[in-house]
Structure 1
Amino acid sequence: MIPALRRLIIVRHAQSEANAVGSLHCTVPGPALTAQGVEQAEKLVATLADEDVRAVWSSTMLRARQTAEPLAVSRDLPVQVHDGFRESYLGDLHDRRDAEAHEAFDDVYASWLVRAELEVRCPGGGESGAEVLERWLGALDEVVLGLDVGTAVVVTHGAATRLAVSRLAHIEPTWALTHHLPNTGHIVLDEEDGRWACRSWGGLQPGF
């Protein structure tokens, strides 16, 4: 197989302090990485050692920027930051840790991803699925415009990523809903015949 001229690797950030306590923290800059998260970010450098990385991007959230930094330093590249890649804003569910809050977000997320009800919002002024998609895919357009050849790595967030990439690469919605990305799990997209083909989703072959 001839290698793709352009590749995107979309990485979920390493473990954050919010992840460690089950918090739905979704505002900028947000919590830092845990000690385990720092180790995960450093291991990402070796994981992507064979990739022709030409650009490293991150959301504006601290956990994403801290994840991106070791890779960028190893390649002598800057971390380019874009607010479009931040996590979905969840309104009144922000920073909650209880099961009821997690269930409420799961229901909203299923509305977006599986039922294509993109106008649905979390209570208290949360973003709609349409708003998340518009800003995330708009940010990705800027990444692609700046990439003539090689690989761009984008460090972002789990929920927004699964929603956007499932649309971008035509992943079966129920499959995307049930296949979470672990911390520093990543999706590989290759340019193919004018579209983005998903080569790997957290190490798995995705459902189409």
Structure 2
Amino acid sequence: MKVLACVIAVVLLVAGCSSGPPAPESITLTFVRHAQSQGNASGLIDSSVPGPDLSEEGRSQAQAAADELRDKDFDGIYASDMVRTQQTAAPLAADLNEQVEVLPGLREIEAGWFEGTSEATAAETYFLAPVQWLDGNLAVAIPGSITGKEFNDRFTAAVAEIYDSGDKNPVAFAHAGSIMLWTLLNVQNPNDSLLRTRPLPNTGRVVVEGNPMTGWRLVNWDGITDFGA
């Protein structure tokens, strides 16, 4: 009986050891595009740092966003190093008595040669290279700017910082291009047509769930929640 008990104990010990480390914990990460900037109001692309302030309409949009987001139980607030995201985050941060942590990696994708050109023509100019990124061609660069790999590495590092903070339900204020492209490049259930059919408006939101180790899933794209299995 003693021998049998020892054998059982060893089997249980081995089974316990072979179970491996616990699975990484998932978080819910909400991205919010900034409110209308003076650059948006002008109709011209402005991807410079720190960039323009919010317009008067943008300030109203930022307060409206804070009113909508106040009850979401966010435990961390982040923004890029561009003024418009920090100004958009400010009303919510004041409501929640939280500090806004600035992460440069959340900044907008630099427009390069297309800086100062019309936002209306961005699909035919500024976004020609990013569309190729979605096809796997991350080595392609926006003329005068960065490659898809450089952008993705930068934004992914910022997301990793958010995850490593320990926040379980953080919100990150960023930019239309950076939010949309990073999401579609990194979630396990992308729908690339959303870039064309549902571009993020000012204060539009994207929500992902997961972690940097096992990956991310898209759960909400500006109100769209059905992304298939």
Q: Check whether TM > 0.5.
A: yes
Closer/same/farther in 2, CA of residues 205 and 180 from structure 1, 3 Å limit: same
1:174 — aligned with what? 192
Closer/same/farther in 2, CA of residues 194 and 102 from structure 1, 3 Å limit: closer
- Deviation per CA, 1:46-99, whole angstroms, max 9, x where unpaired? 211221111100000011110011111111111100110000112111122276
Shift of 1:161: 1.0
More strand by share: 1
- Which one of 157, 163, 166 corresponds to residue 147 of structure 1? 166
1:204 — aligned with what? 224
Matched, 1:183 2:202: yes
State the alpha-carbon separation in 2 of the partners of residues 78 and 108 from structure 1.
35
- Which one of 29, 54, 58 corresponds to residue 33 of structure 1? 54
1:134 — aligned with what? 153
- Which one of 11, 32, 39 corresponds to residue 11 of structure 1? 32
- Which one of 49, 56, 74 corresponds to residue 70 of structure 2? 49
State the alpha-carbon separation in 2 of the partners of residues 46 and 101 from structure 1.
31
Q: Which moved more, 1:181-190 or 1:95-104?
A: 95-104
Does the 8 Å contact 1:165/1:171 carry over to 2?
no
Closer/same/farther in 2, CA of residues 191 and 19 from structure 1, 3 Å limit: same
Q: Which moved more, 1:57-66 or 1:169-178?
A: 169-178
Identical counterparts, % of pairs: 32
The 5 A counterparts of 1:152-163 are 152-163=170-181
Does the 8 Å contact 1:112/1:118 carry over to 2?
yes
1:63 — aligned with what? 84
Q: Secondary structure in 2 aligned to 1:197?
A: strand
Matched, 1:165 2:180: no
State the alpha-carbon separation in 1 of the partners of residues 74 and 90 from structure 2.
13
Shift of 1:38: 0.5
Does the 8 Å contact 1:175/1:207 carry over to 2?
no
TM-score, L = length of structure 1:
0.88
- Deviation per CA, 1:84-120, whole angstroms, max 9, x where unpaired? 000011211112227656521132221122x221111
Amino acid of the residue matched to residue 137 of structure 2?
Answer: E
Does the 8 Å contact 2:53/2:87 carry over to 1?
yes
Closer/same/farther in 2, CA of residues 98 and 40 from structure 1, 3 Å limit: closer
Closer/same/farther in 2, CA of residues 175 and 38 from structure 1, 3 Å limit: same
Matched, 1:86 2:104: no
Amino acid of the residue matched to residue 36 of structure 2?
Answer: Q
State the alpha-carbon separation in 2 of the partners of residues 185 and 195 from structure 1.
23
Does the 8 Å contact 1:6/1:147 carry over to 2?
no
Closer/same/farther in 2, CA of residues 100 and 153 from structure 1, 3 Å limit: closer
Does the 8 Å contact 1:42/1:71 carry over to 2?
yes
State the alpha-carbon separation in 2 of the partners of residues 172 and 141 from structure 1.
20
State the alpha-carbon separation in 2 of the partners of residues 72 and 64 from structure 1.
12
RMSD: 2.1
Residues matched between the structures, number: 202
Q: Which runs of 5+ in 2 are unaligned?
A: 1-24
Closer/same/farther in 2, CA of residues 133 and 206 from structure 1, 3 Å limit: farther
Does the 8 Å contact 1:55/1:77 carry over to 2?
yes
Closer/same/farther in 2, CA of residues 183 and 119 from structure 1, 3 Å limit: same
Q: Which has the larger radius of gyration?
A: 2
